[in-house]
């Protein structure tokens, strides 16, 4: 009987020891879990700090890239503005000459006693016509440089005509014939003034290529065509083309084949067209280069 009680006491003792050890292990596990939880929270805090730091760096890089793009845009516009000033000088030359002749004629009319109401009316009308022509020129140039903050539907043909009007003095000076037939409005969706600037960049590059390659019979063909939901404008010149090895680099910033070029004209062209959800392509032809601007039709963008 004594042995039986001893066995029970021994079993109970073993159970107590087991429970004590189990409890101790549980406490150790709880402590480990607490430490793991603390470590997890610490890691989580560090992870969030890293994420926050990365987000800040990404935002800074985006802001820097936007600033760089803004600077490139300004440089591009300043480069084009030089062309604008030259064009204004050419376009104003004829009306200024006319005004000069009118003023000189007034002096002679006074000497010969020809001043009367009819003479004054004619002098005023002819002078105002010339001044209005000069004022209209400035208005057209100012419109060209007004930035478009929002996308809108616009006529691709009108934007091309505006660029041709502005650049026509330089085209005539360098004996460049442009073949462009105005056929319909061809409404696209994007930024009309920026599109005109793209056309101006392309014409400037073609002019420089003609001069650099000393081409005699200089021609640029501009053709508009529609394809599904896009409007495609092809600019085809006979300026001798572009070296095949250079084609992939044409739209990179600061890449240029000109002696005094900035290398931002075609880069800006790509940026503007891509910002309109469009695409720019360039390839060589038998006589020169073909550059294509592909932009979405107005109804295609609106439907989306």
pLDDT at position 74: 60
CA 198 to chain centre: 8
Instruction: Show Cβ contacts of residue 202 under 8 Å, excluding neighbours closer than 6 positions.
Output: 235, 269, 291
Q: How far apart are CA 294 and CA 56, in angstroms?
A: 35
pLDDT at position 18: 61
Q: How far apart are CA 165 and CA 158, in angstroms?
A: 10
Q: How far apart are CA 215 and CA 206, in angstroms?
A: 11
Let me know: does 199 contact 180? Beta carbons within 8 Å: no
pLDDT mean for each 10 residues of the chain (304 residues)? 59 63 65 68 70 72 62 61 64 74 78 80 81 72 65 90 85 92 82 88 90 91 90 94 84 65 72 91 92 87 46
Q: Provide the greatest CA pair distance for the chain.
A: 160
Please state the φ and ψ torsions of residue 218, each to the nearest 5 degrees: -95, 125
pLDDT at position 78: 62
pLDDT at position 76: 60
pLDDT at position 62: 61
pLDDT at position 284: 93
pLDDT at position 13: 62
pLDDT at position 294: 95
pLDDT at position 303: 46
Which is it for strands 218-227 and 176-180: parallel, antiparallel or unpaired? parallel
67-70, long-range: CB < 8 A, 24+ apart: 69/271
pLDDT at position 299: 75
pLDDT at position 87: 63
pLDDT at position 236: 95
């Amino acid at each position: 009987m004594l042995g039986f009680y001893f066995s029970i006491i021994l079993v109970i003792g073993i159970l107590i020891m087991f429970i004590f050890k189990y409890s101790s292990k549980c406490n150790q596990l709880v402590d480990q879990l607490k430490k793991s939880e603390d470590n997890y929270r610490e890691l989580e805090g560090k992870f969030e700090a890293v994420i926050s730091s990365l987000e800040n760096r990404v935002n800074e890089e985006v802001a820097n890239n936007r600033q760089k793009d803004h600077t490139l845009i300004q440089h591009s516009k300043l480069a084009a503005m030089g062309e604008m000033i030259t064009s204004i000088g050419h376009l104003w030359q004829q009306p200024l000459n006319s005004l000069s002749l009118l003023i000189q004629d007034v002096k002679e009319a006074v000497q010969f006693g020809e001043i009367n109401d009819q003479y004054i009316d004619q002098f005023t009308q002819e002078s105002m016509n010339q001044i209005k022509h000069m004022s209209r020129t400035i208005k057209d140039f100012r419109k060209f440089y007004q930035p478009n903050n929002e996308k809108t539907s616009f006529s691709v043909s009108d934007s091309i005509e505006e660029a041709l009007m502005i650049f026509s003095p330089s085209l005539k000076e360098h004996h460049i014939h442009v073949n462009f037939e105005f056929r319909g409005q061809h409404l696209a969706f994007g930024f009309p003034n920026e599109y005109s600037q793209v056309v101006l960049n392309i014409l400037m590059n073609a002019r420089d290529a003609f001069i650099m390659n000393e081409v005699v019979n200089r021609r640029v063909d501009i053709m508009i065509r529609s394809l599904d939901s896009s409007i495609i404008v092809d600019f085809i010149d006979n300026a001798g083309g572009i070296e095949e090895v250079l084609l992939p680099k044409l739209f990179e910033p600061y890449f240029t084949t000109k002696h005094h070029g900035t290398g931002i004209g075609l880069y800006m062209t790509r940026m503007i067209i891509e910002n309109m959800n469009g695409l720019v392509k360039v390839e060589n032809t038998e006589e020169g280069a073909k550059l294509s601007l592909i932009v979405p039709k107005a109804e295609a963008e609106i439907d989306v």
